Chains A and B, each alone.
Chain A
């Protein structure tokens, strides 16, 4: 997993609420057995016409946002399915950070496993970041995970909360499985105890 420390980049405004995982990556692209290559189909049905041509007014098709690395989104981003193809597609496109008032639980978890930082901010801050993002490509926002701040293009700074364990893993690009396997003896003893207490389980 790629580390995430700080990022300065273009933020794309997507004010729509309840942007679901079917919008982020429609099901026909879930048939891959790889993790990469999904960026071209990110937001596929919002981004392309049926004939494959681009829908000009979709935000990521606009010249200012084609290289966006941050999305500022409406409430409940990533709701719906558990498909990790959603963060894979975002990452493959180049998105490393999504900011919203709320995220669906599974999507939120999946982001951290892929080096993407989801940031929860109160409505009034999302409104300011959204307005800033709407300024276009010259408006670059800075996300600093170390200091847990987002800075707008005109220098306003907002703090955010993030779980300590997840922050540690993102900053160091750590693989959860290796960390858990260090606790193998605790898993062994749990299994022994559980086999006696709940042998049917």
Chain B
């Protein structure tokens, strides 16, 4: 039998139908739904009299619009259009009989944190959601990617997607990370190396010692940003850490079914000699704590570097870099570690899990944020928040002068009231530094939770290794 990659295996196990031209109908095991990209899809079902084919495999949670302030039970904390979207999801979940975690449920949170936390996401599955950061779930060795609203409607109606197979891309991170360097730095280093279009047309499999050494939380951070590198999905082969994370989760199989599942999961690895269309290898030892300076996730450099000049680039990137520097209010040659910030945002589906909060709290313990800095921690889910409170992390954040918020997407995309003002500069643990992403005119520097905490203390971008 031909040697196959992990992606090949998951793909093969989900093909419902293959047309002569290679177009496939792929079965979808889990469909995650949130309030922003689903209303038109449910409306489409109503207009055509269609039902949700597999409501038991469809899970909804509001996250993008919801306020994260403690008074959010008061409907007046939401703008009218946000409230209408959340209410539409409430109603659609009820009308179509799908699983639902409403805002009032302690399990509510960012859809990509809730899915794994509740055990909906399991190895070998196909997982889709109308959200590009669905790539997160690839950390379990599940084929997971974002889809548009038309495809949301297609999956709701048929539990399948029309797909053509992507190519295989291996990203190997050899050796071990140095202290102060995290999963976030790995995933940003890969994008820095390959560019934001480097993964276009591919599914990435991350492998190598440094990936094996990551926790499940760290692996989710790595896969989360596969989309920022243009890849359809990111994958990591399941192992003992994966099984241990899944065991006992509310929706995970139990007893004999668990044993059968693990036996199958153990077959989910890339065979010796399987073909990859593209390979990139990075030494973990060479990765430093990273920070973005521009308006694309590929605009990334070690914290010890200086702001580059447009003349360091070629082609269309010259104009883009000039535009980015103008937007970001930076000049070539300026030290990244001297860039002053106004706001610190710790959270998002990239870095809103318990391990991220632990990493930030470890830096902040016994310290205070610099005066005048606005700093907030937005846990990825109500359960992450509860765990952080039980571990004493919440108190560390509060003592350091951070706002301790309720769960949601928050300032990652600023669809709720958490936004930057024009010209305001933010150290953010989220995933996109696009123009206007965190609010019109807002300036975003992406970095790891520890780096965000360090910046909060000093008031400027800071090498976290100086605080270890």
Contact = CB atoms under 8 A, between A and B. Distances in A.
Interface of A: 15-18, 20, 22-23, 26-28, 30-35, 45, 50, 74-76, 79-84, 87, 102-106, 109-110, 113-114, 163-165, 176-177, 179-181, 183-184, 186-187, 190-191, 194, 198-201
A18 B196 contact: yes
Contact of A201 (B48, B122, B154): B122
A170 B40 CA distance: 21
B242 interface: no
Contacts of B23: 163-165
Given A16-B323, A176-B154, A45 B440 contact: yes
A150 B149 CA distance: 29
Contact of A17 (B17, B316, B432): B316
B125 A201 contact: yes
B296 interface: yes
B279 interface: no
B81 A32 contact: yes
A186 B25 contact: yes
B253 interface: yes
Given A15-B319, A81-B132, A106-B132, A45 B436 contact: yes
30 contacts: A18-B296, A18-B320, A31-B79, A33-B84, A34-B40, A35-B40, A50-B440, A75-B197, A81-B131, A81-B132, A81-B146, A82-B131, A82-B134, A82-B147, A83-B36, A102-B200, A103-B200, A106-B148, A113-B148, A113-B150, A181-B158, A183-B16, A183-B17, A187-B16, A190-B16, A190-B27, A191-B27, A199-B257, A200-B122, A201-B29
B436 A23 contact: yes
Given A15-B316, A109-B148, A186-B25, A33 B261 contact: no
Nearest to B128: A82
A194 B264 CA distance: 13
A125 to B, nearest CB: 15
Closest 7 CB pairs of A and B: A113-B150, A200-B253, A84-B148, A110-B148, A82-B146, A31-B81, A17-B316
Contacts of B65: 31
Given A80-B132, A105-B232, A109-B148, A180 B253 contact: no
B434 A23 contact: yes
B395 interface: no
Contacts of A17: 315-317, 319-320
Given A22-B436, A190-B16, A104 B230 contact: yes
Given A27-B415, A106-B145, A176-B154, 20 more contacts: A16-B320, A16-B323, A17-B316, A18-B320, A31-B84, A50-B440, A74-B320, A79-B230, A105-B166, A105-B200, A113-B150, A179-B162, A180-B25, A181-B157, A187-B159, A191-B159, A199-B257, A200-B122, A200-B258, A200-B260
A199 B259 CA distance: 12
A199 B124 CA distance: 13
B414 A27 contact: yes
A84 B150 contact: yes
Contacts of A201: 29, 122, 124-125
B411 to A, nearest CB: 11
Interface in B363-409: none
Contacts of B422: 50
Interface of B: 16-17, 19, 21, 23, 25, 27, 29, 36-37, 39-40, 43, 48, 50, 53, 64-65, 79, 81-82, 84-85, 88, 122, 124-125, 130-132, 134, 145-151, 153-154, 157-160, 162, 164, 166, 196-197, 200-201, 227, 230-232, 252-253, 257-258, 260-261, 264, 296, 298, 315-317, 319-320, 323, 413-415, 422, 432, 434-437, 440
A190 B19 CA distance: 16
Contacts of A30: 36-37, 64, 415
A51 to B, nearest CB: 12
Contacts of A32: 81
A75 B154 contact: no
A20 B197 contact: no
A59 to B, nearest CB: 14
A56 B414 CA distance: 27
A177 B154 contact: yes
B267 to A, nearest CB: 12
B150 A27 contact: no
A69 B96 CA distance: 38
Contact of A82 (B148, B197, B298, B414): B148
Contacts of B147: 82, 106, 109
Contacts of A45: 435-436, 440
B317 A22 contact: no
